[in-house]
Amino acid sequence: MRNKMIIILSALIILLVPNLCSANSTSFDINFVDEDLRTVLYTLATIGGVDIVVDDSVKGKVTMKLKDVSFETALNLVTRAKGLSYRKINNAVIIEPSDIGATEVLKLNYAQVSDIQTALKPLLTDLKLKAEADNTSNSLVISGSITGIDRVKTILATLDVPQQQVELEAKVVAINKTHSKDTGIDWSWEATPQFPEVTHEYEYVPTEDGKSTIMVPKTTVTRDSHKGIIRFGRNPEGYPYEFYYQAKINALISNGNAKMLAQPKVMTINGKEARILIGDRVPVPVESTDSAGKTTTKIDYIDAGIKLTYTPVINTDGLITAKVRTEVSSPSLVDSIKAYRITTREAETNVRMKDGETLVIGGLIGNDESQMKNKVPFLSDLPILGKLFQSSHNSNNDTEVVIFLTARVVK
């Protein structure tokens, strides 16, 4: 009877002083001895200034002594101690046994349901929840405790958000080997520095003993940044070497010493692979022998041409970490086996790039052999003498395929 009077008096004081009912700012002491659980929950709801709904199955006694705690802390301690869970709906709290089951369909707006199911697998196991992915509606069907489902909802709110996108521009250029050195792509060659325009000012600084002064130059850089520049290393004055690759590539193409093989653009979501294929599907005969010793031949098709795979990850500092793989392959028919031979040049790397920065992949060197024959009509077809009226020329050209990759974060 004495405990019940204390509870009633506490509730009256709280109702008379509304400022003490703030769940976010009020801390209080509470002491119950073998008190009815439902009465304790109603008292906590009054202290927290919230509405409360208690399931009929919630029964029992509770003894607790808490000092300087908030409403949230007290409610958590009581419900956990009694094997209960609670949910918040607006300004109301629903108290129910934690093992009450439910099934909900959670619709995803941005993320792929298969990716979310994989990411949540450890949590679902820990919470003893069952989840089925519906790829048609991009939804996750979850069954289990209401408390567990609510926790999954909270996590989904942070995962199911629009992902940033990265635009990749690739320029694939084939350069005659005799002219590729002019582009400066091979970093082992001697670099020609592009010095920035600077203005020099001087000031007089006293020496350590204070008896004299010395003239010290002050340098101010006035050059603006330009597009199409690759900077590397440092010159004697401390400025980076600069290579204006775009102008040189354009000049080589104009002179016929280089050829732009492709200039595709592709956009991909952060963390997802983008693939580019510019080429053909080449038939390749494949022989197989069964258990009876019978040999059969079937035709498979492989990709030949320019292949590029690119997987970007946007870091929190704005840099782009990317896995890049390039492949340049060309088929040639081998008459003796009536099949194609695939000549491949490939490179794979992991890099960190700034937004808008250009990555250069070079060294994909190949050899092109060609034969040109000139004939004088009719006369070249004469027996024996026809050889005098025809000529042939064999050429052997080395080419280097250079790939320029520019990544930009789509704002």
Q: Does the residue 323 lie in any domain? A: yes
Range of the domain at 200: 185-250
Full-prediction pTM beyond 0.75? no
Q: Does the residue 273 lie in any domain? A: yes
* Statement to judge: residues 113 and 151 lie in one domain: yes
**If residue 89 lies in a helix (H) or strand (E), which one and from where to where?**
strand 84-89
* CB distance 191 to 233 below 8 Å: yes
* Statement to judge: residues 300 and 345 lie in one domain: yes
* Statement to judge: residues 89 and 113 lie in one domain: no
* Statement to judge: residues 233 and 151 lie in one domain: no
- Using 50, 70 and 90 to split pLDDT, how confident is the model at 29? confident
Highest-scoring range by mean pLDDT, 7-21, 52-66, 372-386: 52-66
Residue reference for tokens 């098709």: 301
Distance CA 309, CA 303 (A): 13
User: Angle, nearest 10°, between helix axes 71-81 and 37-48?
Assistant: 160
**If residue 251 lies in a helix (H) or strand (E), which one and from where to where?**
helix 245-254
What Å distances lie between residue 85 and 94, 98, 337, 400, CA to CA?
A: 8, 5, 74, 67
Token pair for 388: 């005098």
Q: Does the residue 203 lie in any domain? A: yes
Highest-scoring range by mean pLDDT, 21-25, 79-83, 273-277: 273-277
Domain of residue 61, CATH code: 3.55.50.30
Q: Give the 3-state secondary structure of residue 18.
A: helix
* Statement to judge: residues 257 and 218 lie in one domain: no
Q: Does the residue 139 lie in any domain? A: yes
* Statement to judge: residues 375 and 259 lie in one domain: yes
Count: domains in the chain: 4
Beta-bridge partners for 92: 51, 89
Q: Give the 3-state secondary structure of residue 183.
A: helix
Number of residues that this document lists for the chain: 411
* Per-residue burial over 362-379, b = 16 or more CB atoms within 10 Å of its CB, e = otherwise: bebebeeeeeeeeeeeee
- Per residue in 274-283, pLDDT (tens digit) is 988 888 888 8
* Statement to judge: residues 342 and 393 lie in one domain: yes
* Statement to judge: residues 265 and 379 lie in one domain: yes
Which of 48, 81, 97 is where one domain is finished?
A: 97
